[in-house]
Amino acid sequence: MRTFTFGVMASLGLLAGCQTEQQEAQEAVQDVREAERGAREDVQEAVQEGREDVAAARREMVKELREMERSGEPVEFDAVVVNHDPNNLNLKLESGETFDVAFAPNARIQRGTETVTMTELQPGSIVHVTYRLVDGKRVAEEIMLSEPGTMPAPGTPAPGTPANPDATPGAGGGTR
């Protein structure tokens, strides 16, 4: 009987040890779940802050654009063609903003040194546009199509165009 009692006692001790380990494992799982909730909240907060930063940057970009337009000087930017008709070009900026520019009667459309027609302005084409505000309307004076896989830097002269001797070296100066 003694052996049997010892065996039962040993089994009860093992059972108690297993229950303790199971409880510790459950507590560890709970800790992991709480950490996941905290991480999820941190990510959601970071995403919200990112959205707010993007919105602030967009507002600042629009403000700067309006100031440039009011100056009467040409405004230059890079964009992607969304669509066009014979009179207007609908563009999408890197920020996601879209807007239209009208074609000036003497607007130049070029790919490198080659003059091209509006038919080259296909949705998805990457362009560098120079426009002015005329009677409250954006009017494109020049549209430079990028070669596939390239994006012209603002102020970069078209191939074959002489560099502006007054430009500051390294500033991307050139004639446009």
- Give the chain's residues under pLDDT 50: 152-176
Question: Which pLDDT value is given to residue 5?
Answer: 61
Q: 140 forms bridges with which residues in the sheet?
A: 103, 131
Who contacts 107 (Cβ-Cβ below 8 Å, separation ≥6)? 139, 140, 141, 142, 143
For 142-173, the pLDDT digits (tens) are 999 986 555 544 444 444 444 444 433 334 44
pTM over 0.85: no
**Beta carbons within 10 angstroms of residue 101's beta carbon:** 24
**Tokens representing 125?**
């084409």
Question: Which pLDDT value is given to residue 2?
Answer: 53
Question: Which pLDDT value is given to residue 173?
Answer: 40
Question: Which pLDDT value is given to residue 172?
Answer: 41
CA–CA gap between residue 85 and residue 82 (Å, rounded): 11
Question: Which pLDDT value is given to residue 13?
Answer: 67
The whole-angstrom distance between residue 9's C-alpha and the CA centroid of its chain comes to: 68
**Tokens representing 149?**
């896989």
What is the number of residues in the chain? 176
Question: Which pLDDT value is given to residue 153?
Answer: 47
Question: Which pLDDT value is given to residue 128?
Answer: 94
Question: Which pLDDT value is given to residue 157?
Answer: 44
Amino acid at site 98: T
Question: Which pLDDT value is given to residue 50?
Answer: 87
- Residue found under tokens 């603002």: 154
Helix, strand, or coil (residue 103): strand
